[in-house]
Amino acid sequence: MEGNKRGRLDSKQHHDRKLYLSKRPRGGSPGPSSSKRKECSNALVLDNGGFTIKIGYSKDNNITVLPNHIMKAKSERKRFFIADQIEDCRDLSGLYYLTPHDHGYISKFDVQKNVWDYTFNKFPADDMPVIVTQPIFNFKHIQEYMDEIFFEEYDVKTLYRTNSTDLTYYQYITTKKGQHTSCIIVDSGYSFTHIVPYVNGKKYTNGIIRMDIGGKLLTNYLKDILSYRQLHVMEETYVINQLKEDTCYMALDFKKEMQTAKTTNDIVKNYVLPDFHNIRRGYVHEGEVDSQLAENFQILRINNERISVPEVLMKPSIIPGIEQAGLAQCIAKSIAKCPTKYRQQMADNIILVGGNTNFPGFKERVETETRMFLPSHHRMTVFKPEEPIKYSVLGGKSFSKDPQFRSMCVKKHEYEEHGSNYTYKKFNEFVEIEEEPPKKTEEAPFSYLDHWKKEGVDIFQKNVMKEDPSPDVQFILEGDDIEQYDGKYVTIEFEYEKKQPPKVEIPPPPIKPPDISQLKVIKKKMIVPNSPLVLNSNATVVRASDLQPIRAPTKVYRPVFRTKPENQKITQIISINGATPMTSGPLIIPSTSGGKTVSLGSAQLLNNAVIIPQNMFGSKNLTLQFRPIFMQGNNIIITKKQ
Amino acid sequence: MSKVVSRGSTRLRENERQRIIDDSTRRRRLRKFLENLEADNFHEDPHADLVMSKKVPKFDDNLESRTRSKKRERNSEYYQIKYRKSFQQMIEDDRKEADDNNRMSYMDLSAPQSDFPPYYTCAVCGYHSNYICISCGVRVCQTRCFDTHFETRCLKWTT
Ligand SMILES: [Zn+2]
Ligand SMILES: [Zn+2]
């Protein structure tokens, strides 16, 4: 098909969304008869995860999920339970796991072999091609093991080894309509969470980020806190994992939900633990717990644990000793590492797969929080497949039907001839980076504030460079201003005008800073006690027209910046001081119509500045309102100057 | 002698209150805690005592019904012996190989530090914490939680 004309079409194919296929097989050319071989069109796809194996034939629609462990039960001393044999086990308390993986990489080779033996016994590969997944940058040592076991032990005739994100990528670009070939895949599994950008069909290795947080850590953390606070459940991994899946969810506004958990009973759930005589699986008991239930069963009261456990993905520092950045931040960092011209496409194609994405609210939270870290002009779309655990196997199934598939596999005789080095080379082609040479130095995200400072631009009618070499712009409370400061709110109102109608560039990479020289601030007043100002997550951005109720009592002071001439819209401006935002909670904008609130959309906290895009301004006014918090050392003190 | 203010912590004995766990012990505790979060099991193998007896089940026994014919079938110990390598060793090898080939290695992929200050939670109740236990460095949120912590984990936690 296409492969035969490859020489001529090369330049055109750069824009083809099938680029993934046309670029990968660099070594060999696709066999001419590959698409005609009907007798071998079935293939076995095995996604070898740290917690479960996902397996299915390309010909049928089923995907089976098998535990990737060998388990030992306290009650049954005569046998093991391999994979789904555990369904035969009566008493699942104190289950002991033999897991092939260590940190997500196979390290107990005997255990893995036994699970695979069992799996292939159930799903014989016969002579069909086998697609098997491995973690990103799988160690060469493990790849050799896989070669040996697949080719020699299981006698596989044709093997394709790949990352599950590759299959996810294939499934996404071939099923999703559109011309996009760049996207970012967030794979949050049992052992870790990977963020993998794909640029034009290839993994962009410089942008890959691994967070060492996965389902195992979350379950173990939940076990630890429940054991300390309520009941010793350290040995009940199996039960607590189910409890996690049954009760935990991702809060949209973590702080608010925690407050709700603290002050009300809205969050709390009673979870009845299985005793494996009367109850085989734990469940959430709705309503009051009567004395009879409490006498006969063990009940765990799950309150803030419901949200704080999944929250570890967004704020890893919840677990003492973990300093990695949260998921939303990592997504933004990964995008920022990629070549500029692909970033918009990536933000538009964020794909969530893996078991942790099944937490209710996960997608919405990732959407809201990632939005805050992305440049304001980026559109953003998050996609979560219906079954995020099985999505990569779906991808493998469709990929096996691709005419190019065969040329990318390794045949048994090739392995026997050339050995493991050959397969290693063939299955790890992505390592080469053609388009952009690897850049170790990271491009710093663009910051308006830094830009203005560098240019010595006058934002608050003073030359930042000359007068204030310190990085913080300080607002000083003066005179009777303090009297009007009610200790709660400081409101700053900006009214900027631009002489020329703003140019509409969609999308405008690279970011063009507004032309400050055409803006003139004619009046400035600001009240804030004489400490660096810190935006915290309570910050609220409102339009001037929304401010009426707040305006009426004169306690709220509104310094105004005005520009000449009037009657024109603001471009992109807003910066408040150089202080770091306290937390990353979402900012809320009250909409003009009624009391409904909408999330901040594309406004953004970037390098200590708040930047609000043009489309958010209905009128020519912009008012920022926030509670000031002043930092001194590590303590938070709210002061009022006398 | 100064009068002790009557708060929850009055029952703490004077010498206990003075004790402060040094940095290296704190770090060891923390490392142990993080290792436990990575562990597959908290408890010991329930069949460990069977190892010496004849009754110990063999992995391969579970698969009597194997149908495929294999001429070169190897038992699972063969693979474990041939490929045995610790995770640390594999990371090291990976790094060497990555350097030679000018590619990213496992270590390079690790997520960067957060741009934001850490979010601390109380070790006892789970809500936001502003205080640190002077003795051991664990985060707590209020006096009540501190007392609980002091009486349960603080100095008694074995490392
Ligand atoms: Zn507390
Ligand atoms: Zn302590």
In the prediction, which pLDDT does B79 show? 84
Question: Is A28 in CB contact (< 8 Å) with chain B?
Answer: no
In the prediction, which pLDDT does A427 show? 84
Does the pLDDT at position A469 exceed 50?
Answer: no
Q: Do B50 and A216 touch (CB under 8 A)?
A: no
Burial A298-336 (b: 16+ CB within 10 A, else e): ebbebbbbbbbbbbbbbbbbbbbebebbbbbbbbbbbbb
Nearest to A349 by CA among A574, A182, A518: A182
Mean pLDDT of chain B: 75
Does the pLDDT at position A623 exceed 80?
Answer: no
Q: How far is A99 from chain B (nearest CA, A)?
A: 7
Separation between Cα atoms, residue A350 and residue A370, nearest integer Å: 10
Q: How far is B65 from chain A (nearest CA, A)?
A: 8
Mean pLDDT of chain A: 70
- Going from the Cα of A213 to the center of ligand 2, the distance in angstroms, rounded, reads 26
In the prediction, which pLDDT does A541 show? 35
Q: Model confidence at A340, in pLDDT bands (50, 70, 90)? A: confident
Q: How far is B19 from chain A (nearest CA, A)?
A: 22
Separation between Cα atoms, residue A328 and residue A350, nearest integer Å: 11
- Going from the Cα of B150 to the center of ligand 2, the distance in angstroms, rounded, reads 6
In the prediction, which pLDDT does A445 show? 54
Model confidence pLDDT, tens digit, residues A15-46: 333 333 333 333 333 333 344 444 457 999 99
N-terminal to C-terminal alpha carbon distance within chain B: 35
Model confidence pLDDT, tens digit, residues A560-600: 223 223 332 222 223 333 222 333 333 333 323 222 222 33
For residues A509 and A160, which has the higher predicted lDDT (pLDDT)? A160
Model confidence pLDDT, tens digit, residues A495-532: 344 444 445 545 444 444 444 444 444 333 333 333 33
Q: Do B41 and A325 touch (CB under 8 A)?
A: no
Q: Closest CB to B115: pick one of A141, A329, A438.
A: A329
Contact list in A for residue B31 (CB cut-off 8 A) is 321
Length of chain B: 159
What's the whole-number mean pLDDT along residues A353-369? 95
Q: Is A274:A282 a contact under the CB 8 Å cutoff?
A: yes
In the prediction, which pLDDT does A639 show? 28
- Going from the Cα of A232 to the center of ligand 1, the distance in angstroms, rounded, reads 19
Q: Closest CB to A206: pick one of B101, B104, B127.
A: B104
Q: Which helix (H) or strand (E) holds A436?
A: none
In the prediction, which pLDDT does B73 show? 62
Phi, psi of A376 (to 5 degrees): -65, -25
Contact list in A for residue B51 (CB cut-off 8 A) is none
Of A153-167, A246-260, A364-378, A623-637, minimum mean pLDDT range: A623-637
Q: Closest CB to B139: pick one of A96, A255, A320.
A: A320
What does the domain layout of chain B look like in residue ranges?
A: 119-159
Interface of B with A in 98-117 (CB under 8 A): 98, 101-106, 109-117
The segment with the largest mean pLDDT, out of A284-288, A359-363, A629-633, B12-16, is A359-363
Classify strands A604-606 and A490-495 as parallel, antiparallel or unpaired: unpaired
Phi, psi of A470 (to 5 degrees): -70, 150
Place of tokens 């004395």: A291
Tokens of B152: 């349960």
For residues A596 and A423, which has the higher predicted lDDT (pLDDT)? A423
3-state secondary structure (DSSP) of residue A231: coil
Q: Do B67 and A124 touch (CB under 8 A)?
A: yes
Residue type for position A496: Y
DSSP 3-state percent helix, strand, coil across chain B (nearest 5): 45, 5, 50
In the prediction, which pLDDT does A34 show? 40
What's the whole-number mean pLDDT along residues B104-132? 90
Q: Do A85 and B34 touch (CB under 8 A)?
A: no
In the prediction, which pLDDT does A450 show? 59
In the prediction, which pLDDT does A178 show? 66
Question: Is A323 in CB contact (< 8 Å) with chain B?
Answer: yes
Q: Model confidence at B35, in pLDDT bands (50, 70, 90)? A: very high
Does the pLDDT at position A401 exceed 60?
Answer: yes
CA atoms within 13 A on the CB side of B16: 12
What's the whole-number mean pLDDT along residues A452-457? 54
The segment with the largest mean pLDDT, out of A36-40, A118-122, A456-460, A481-485, is A118-122
In the prediction, which pLDDT does A446 show? 53
Q: Which helix (H) or strand (E) holds A71?
A: strand A70-72
Which residues have C-beta within 8 Å of that of residue B51, sequence separation ≥ 6? none
Q: Do A228 and B123 touch (CB under 8 A)?
A: yes
Model confidence pLDDT, tens digit, residues B52-110: 444 445 555 445 444 444 444 677 778 888 888 888 889 999 888 888 888 888 988 99
Beta strands in A99-180 (DSSP E): 101-102, 105-106, 130-133, 158-162
Q: Model confidence at A203, in pLDDT bands (50, 70, 90)? A: confident
In the prediction, which pLDDT does A517 show? 46
Question: Is B71 in CB contact (< 8 Å) with chain A?
Answer: no
Of A238-252, A454-468, A607-621, B113-127, minimum mean pLDDT range: A607-621
Q: Do B70 and A153 touch (CB under 8 A)?
A: yes
Separation between Cα atoms, residue A596 and residue A546, nearest integer Å: 12
Cβ count within 10 A of residue A262: 14
- Going from the Cα of B19 to the center of ligand 2, the distance in angstroms, rounded, reads 10
Model confidence pLDDT, tens digit, residues A273-328: 999 988 999 999 988 888 888 888 999 999 999 999 999 999 999 999 999 999 99
